[in-house]
Amino acid sequence: MILVTGGAGYIGAVTVRELLDKGFAVRVLDKFLYGDAPLEEVRTRIDCVEGDICTLDEAILDGVDVVVHLAGLSNDPTAEFNPEANKRMNTFATRTLAEACKRKGIKRFIFASSCSIYDRGMMAEDIIQDEDSPVTPRAAYATSKYAAERALLELAGKDFQPTILRQGTVHGWSPRMRYDLVVNTFVRSAFEQGVLTVHCGGEMWRPLVDVTDVARCYVACMQADLDVVGGQIFNLSHKNYRILELAHWVKRALEGIVDAEIHVEYGSQTARDYRVSTRKIERVLGFRTRVSVEESARVMAAKVQAGIHADFHNPRYYNIKWLELLVEMEAHLKRLGSIF
């Protein structure tokens, strides 16, 4: 049995399907902040548990062989919206879950971390960073992920062997769609406005990876010898792109589907900026990504043309907008009391 925390999320919904396709039994633990619709078509094939990783019931781990830990706040705006909740969910809950796994004898634990911990700002020296590069995370999200990594490695031993994947900026179509990720934003903007807007001159670097490749990598880590992946950190990315270059690739991918122009804005130099090496995961695990940005953009465009996730103003597609709406509604309901 594979436990996927956050299994109804953007990456989780794709991961659950990948695991089912490979014949694994799957249990999902999710609070369903964004609803349970992303799992609707596979609901009868999984053990689905509604719950909060911050108040973990260890019974969720009964019969589990591997944990794929995806739950938590997942980008800078949501982390900065509530830094304490970010720390509680991304760091403390990760440690609590890992300690419970250790007590239960669950050795395999795959953790979705982030390449954003490498960010040193646009004024820093432009270098390609690997898993041994010194890091000093700056933003709340990156800091919480790095602290979780440290906690997992402190617990590592023969009876608990976590695998940490520092993921590049993810993109691509998912049953729990997001349009607040750079490639996805470009596709949405092409359809909605006919313009791809690039900020800060588009000079900043970003490692990119398609969500289906991320799910494939989880499976590869699960199937690898534990002596090879246990206690290891791997960067996961398809390629490093300058954002302006990325806009041109997306524009080219959408030719014949939707016409779009590129608009470049200049100004702030505070954008995230980092490049990473993927040599370790290719050498040690033999894992290589398959999905290019162009293919990913075309798949998303085809879904939009078919009317799937084409309601671009739906706040569920934007993590911070949805959380802000939920918090506002929660406060309103407390004041309102009973509706009828």
- 56-109 residue pLDDT tens: 999 999 999 999 999 998 888 887 878 888 888 899 999 999 999 999 999 999
Contact 117, 142 (CB under 8 A): yes
pLDDT of residue 306: 96
Distance CA 210, CA 236 (A): 10
pLDDT of residue 123: 62
Which distant-in-sequence residues (6+ apart) come within 8 Å of 96 by Cβ?
A: 53, 54, 56
Distance CA 140, CA 245 (A): 28
Percent of the chain surpassing pLDDT 70 = 98
Which distant-in-sequence residues (6+ apart) come within 8 Å of 329 by Cβ?
A: none
Please indicate whether residue 141 is annotated as part of the active site: yes
pLDDT tens by residue, 151-164: 999 999 999 999 99
Please give the full DSSP string across 242-291, using - where no structure is assigned: EHHHHHHHHHHHTTTT---EEEE------S---EE--HHIIIII------
Taking each helix axis from N to C end, the angle separating 243-253 and 293-305, rounded to the nearest 10 degrees, works out to 50
- For residue 97, give the nearest of 64, 143, 141 by alpha carbon: 64
- How many other C-beta atoms are found inside a 10 Å radius of the C-beta of residue 138? 14
pLDDT of residue 263: 93
Distance CA 269, CA 119 (A): 13
Q: What residue ranges of the chain have pLDDT lower than 50?
A: none
Name the CA radius of gyration of the chain, rounded. Answer: 20
First to last CA, the chain: 44
pLDDT of residue 83: 84
Domains located in the chain, CATH noted: 2-322 (3.40.50.720)
Phi, psi of 232 (to 5 degrees): -110, 150
pLDDT of residue 138: 85
Length of the chain equals 340
In the structure encoding, which two tokens stand for residue 80, read together? 């900065």
**How do the residues of the chain divide into helix, strand and coil, expressed in percent and rounded to 5?**
45, 20, 35
Catalytic residue among 10, 34, 141, 218: 141
pLDDT of residue 106: 97
Distance CA 334, CA 58 (A): 31
Region of 50 on the Ramachandran plot (φ > 0 left; ψ -120 to 50 alpha; else beta): beta
Strand partners, 197: 263
Distances (CA, A) of 3 to 47, 134, 135: 9, 32, 30
3-class secondary-structure state, position 187 = helix
Distance CA 261, CA 248 (A): 9
Instruction: Estimate to the nearest angstrom the gap between the alpha carbon of 134 and the chain centroid.
Output: 22
